[in-house]
Amino acid sequence: MGNTYGYIRVSSRDQNEDRQLVVMQELAVPEKNIFIDKQSGKDFDRPSYKRMLRRVKKDDLLYIKSIDRLGRNYGEILEQWRVLTKEKGVDIVVLDMPILDTRMGKDLMGTFLSDIVLQILSFVAENERANIRQRQAEGIAAAKARGVRFGRPPYALPENFDEICSLWNSGKMTGTEAARACRMPLSTFRYRAGADRKF
């Protein structure tokens, strides 16, 4: 019987890992064997996971809360599962999906069923993330259609902006001079003036 480990990842520094920690303690995972990362799945820079990967060895047991703790997409989850179970010889228990417990069904059929379930769940996890991104994009598009503005507020125009634009449009002032008179970068002046001419 090897050592018992727990891996916890929360998506941001604002999220709390306490609930997962309590579960790991109830499973009698030694505190020194609990590894926690607070990074998003998007960036996936996981120093604690990498440290844990270096420490685990054959016949160790790893608890994770959900399958998406292993990777940010379908391919990565499958790859990490392969590294842990095949290369390292580690057993994995996915707490919110008890069917994914590599201690059970060590025969060919058990391994086959576990791999099928893993692939389905990995696909579902990635598909859900894609759906979330799509809903966010649709929400932003709908907000823009309602006139909601995102980003910094536009640069406040000086009182003499229209007068300077008129001088510039009539060729009595260069673009550089007009931008300087408005106290803004040339590119900003050009954009705000709605011009497409070259300076």
Point out the residues that are catalytic.
11
Q: How far apart are CA 71 and CA 121, in angstroms?
A: 12
| Residue found by looking up tokens 């018992």 in the block | 4
Residue 45 tokens read as 């820079």
Residue at 82: amino acid letter: R
Helix axes 108-145, 74-82, angle to 10 degrees: 150
CA dihedral for 140, 142, 144, 148, sign (positive or negative): negative
Q: How far apart are CA 97 and CA 28, in angstroms?
A: 19
